[in-house]
Amino acid sequence: MPSTSGTLAASHLVTSWVDEMEALCLPEKVVWIDGSDEQRRVLTAEACATGEMIELNQEKHPGCYYHRSDPQDVARVEDKTFICCRDQKDAGATNNWKEPGEAYAEAADFFRGSMRGRTMYVVPFSMGPVGSSFSKIGIELTDSIYVVINMAIMCHVGESVLDVLGQSNDFTRCLHSKATLDPEKRRILHFPEDNTVWSVNSAYGGNVLLGKKCLALRMAGWMGKNEGWLAEHMLILGIEAPNGSTEYVAAAFPSACGKTNLAMLIPPEGLRGKGYRIWTVGDDIAWIRPDSDGRLWAMNPEAGFFCVAPGTNSKTNPNGMETQKKNTIFTNVVLGRDGTVWWEDGDGAPPADALDWQGRPWKPGMTDENGKAVVGAHPNSRFTAPFSQCPTAPLSQDRHHGVPISAIIFGGRRERLVPLVYESTSWDHGVFVGASVASERTSAQYGKQGEVRRDPFAMLPFCGYNMADYFRHWVNIGRTTPNAPKIFHVNWFRKDENGRFLWPGYGENLRVLEWILKRARGEGKYQETPIGNVPTPDALDMTGLDLAPGVMEELLEVNREDWKAEADDIKVFLDSLGPHMPPELRDEVKALRQRLGA
């Protein structure tokens, strides 16, 4: 009989499931996570004693710890991620599918006895403020202290969650085991009809912090389809004018296109005089609901950030740097011998004497046998930090059921073709724009870097049901939301023929957001093009930013020939999504081709 410590007042529904999973995984011990600082301290000390985590220099990084994942376990694994619903049609063309019975049976073999000699932690968690009617509850069983400590940053965990759950069966049953970390036996399984997630043989963030991508996007998407709301891969940002009124935008970009940087934006020098205040409401996930005022309201179900470290510095994201100054877990970055951390394109000089993300001795300037620079931090290395430490986090975050959205923005990383910003001309056109998002692949995704892939609504890896049904759900939301926001598309990444970025990005993006909010109010100068409305070259406030002559025109250019090819490509993509495609989107492709004269 394994020992159980600190069993919380849980319902029979909860305890009988925990017992069943315990009988499968056979841990030596079961520990219930109560959410107390004291328990977290004890677990952190234990993880440090076993080497699972390393205490950083507490003078320079108070409350901070370091973790290294297995070198074969450094990113989400889309090819090992499955939607396991009864009817394959409900998973659609973009998801891997497994029949639930088979999926359970196969994974049960991997879970069986996987926690022998280990502790199973029971982590009750709430996505969204504890007790809000908009929040969702999950319970994650895991054999990883790293997961427990990260979950405690990323969401609200502990006894209060069980209090709110009471006798209800309305919780997501999340089971995770590192097992042997065998990549071949890695599975991230979603059973939306059973409100269950199973993840095995990984210990890496997106695969194992089951509240995040698994619950808050894939499972919540399915729930939202049935309950009339949207779970989106979006940041939420507020722009407060000096008169105190705040307008909010929600924006979807594929992974590692700068969502966090935009969410934490700092107004550029030239616009400071306008006295804006920026509020970071969310950087990755938005739950969006139509409200009785006919508008869409968005809330961030997370309580922390799980940010890509490389590229984050005091220039690209000062608020991000401020956020990770304390109480942060660093994963797979460079570890200085003095207990400090560093990453490529971060702040300051690299430590002279350090260990790289795999724990090998590393020195700045090191090259491999081909003369190529050896990076110290993994390109997808991360930091996990509490939301409340962000200087632009609103105080009301935890008491709020969300904020009203004035504009929805889609974007991708496109070297060519796509203008800096354009506005869709109707809700259905906006849904079409979201459906046609494409981006060049980055390191957060598994697969070949650099290649353009279609990533509708930036949800390709995260949409937990049939993508065409998801488009239909979006079309329907517009029908039932009389004051729906306007929909826009941005591209910060357009390059000139010499491969140089045309737009400076970062804080300067506020100039584009200003135009978007103006257009949302029916103001602002624009010109019509076949793909939508783009600003006139003089429409953005460029105070303090000198672009070379002709650059703005180049940024805003819509090349008909290139767009004809793009429209063809979009059509092929939509056709590949199967028979559920809403006719409204087929009509939008036709209309686009006509406007282009194709």
Task: Tell me which residues are annotated as active site.
Answer: 257
**Residue 204 or 279 with smaller CB distance to ligand OXD:** 204
Q: Which letter, b or e, does each residue of 349-370 get, where b requires 16 or more Cβ atoms within 10 Å of its Cβ?
A: ebbeebbbbeeeebeeeeeeee
List the one residue from 129, 158, 192, 206 that touches ligand OXD (CB under 6 A): 206
Query: Per the structure block, which two tokens stand in for 277?
Result: 């205040």
- Give residues 305-364 in contact with ligand OXD (rule: CB under 6 A): 306
**Count of chain residues binding ligand OXD (CB under 6 A):** 6
**Residue 125 or 422 with smaller CB distance to ligand OXD:** 125
- Give residues 287-306 in contact with ligand OXD (rule: CB under 6 A): 306
d(CA 535, CA 514): 11
d(CA 388, CA 331): 20
The one-character DSSP state at 4 is: E
CB of 425 to ligand OXD, least distance (A): 29
Q: Does 143 interact with Mn ion (rule: CB under 5 A)?
A: no
Q: Does 246 interact with ligand OXD (rule: CB under 6 A)?
A: no
**Residue 53 or 214 with smaller CB distance to ligand OXD:** 214
DSSP string, 193-229: GGTEEEEES--SHHHH-TIIIIIIIIIHHHHHHHHT-
**Residue 124 or 461 with smaller CB distance to Mn ion:** 461
- Give residues 280-339 in contact with Mn ion (rule: CB under 5 A): 284
CB of 449 to ligand OXD, least distance (A): 14
CB of 177 to ligand OXD, least distance (A): 21
Q: Does 263 interact with ligand OXD (rule: CB under 6 A)?
A: no
**SS3 state of residue 318:** helix
List the one residue from 393, 444, 552, 567 that touches ligand OXD (CB under 6 A): 444
Contact 347, 337 (CB under 8 A): no
List the one residue from 284, 344, 508, 566 that touches ligand OXD (CB under 6 A): 284
Helical H segments across 297-408, by residue range: 318-323
Interface mask toward ligand OXD for 70-89; x: CB under 6 A:
------x-------------
Interface mask toward ligand OXD for 492-531; x: CB under 6 A:
----------------------------------------
- The entry of Mn ion, ligand OXD, none that residue 140 binds, CB within 5 to 8 Å by partner kind: none
Q: Does 376 interact with ligand OXD (rule: CB under 6 A)?
A: no
Q: Does 469 interact with Mn ion (rule: CB under 5 A)?
A: no
d(CA 210, CA 140): 7
Interface mask toward ligand OXD for 389-428; x: CB under 6 A:
----------------------------------------
CB of 469 to ligand OXD, least distance (A): 22
Q: Which stretch binds Mn ion (CB under 5 A): 7-15, 89-97, 278-286, 522-530?
A: 278-286
Evaluated on CA atoms 219, 235, 397, 140, the torsion sign reads: positive
Evaluated on CA atoms 396, 399, 402, 404, the torsion sign reads: negative
The residue behind tokens 């076949």 is 530
CB of 208 to ligand OXD, least distance (A): 12
> Which residues touch 12 (CB under 8 Å, ≥6 apart)?
none
> Which residues touch 590 (CB under 8 Å, ≥6 apart)?
none
Contact 202, 77 (CB under 8 A): yes
Give Cα 400 distance to the centre of its chain. Answer: 20
CB of 150 to Mn ion, least distance (A): 15
Backbone angles phi, psi at 375, to 5 degrees: -75, 145
Element (H, E) at 427: helix 427-435
Query: Per the structure block, which two tokens stand in for 311?
Result: 């590229």
- The entry of ligand OXD, Mn ion, none that residue 206 binds, CB within 5 to 8 Å by partner kind: ligand OXD
Q: Does 455 interact with Mn ion (rule: CB under 5 A)?
A: no
**Residue 143 or 284 with smaller CB distance to Mn ion:** 284
Backbone angles phi, psi at 228, to 5 degrees: 90, 30
Q: Could you count the other beta carbons within 10 Å of the beta carbon of residue 589?
A: 21
Nearest to 509 by CA among 557, 553, 542: 542
Determine the residue with CB nearest ligand OXD.
255
**Residue 119 or 332 with smaller CB distance to ligand OXD:** 332
Query: Per the structure block, which two tokens stand in for 264?
Result: 């934490």
Residues that bind Mn ion (CB under 5 A): 255, 284
Residues that bind ligand OXD (CB under 6 A): 76, 206, 255, 284, 306, 444
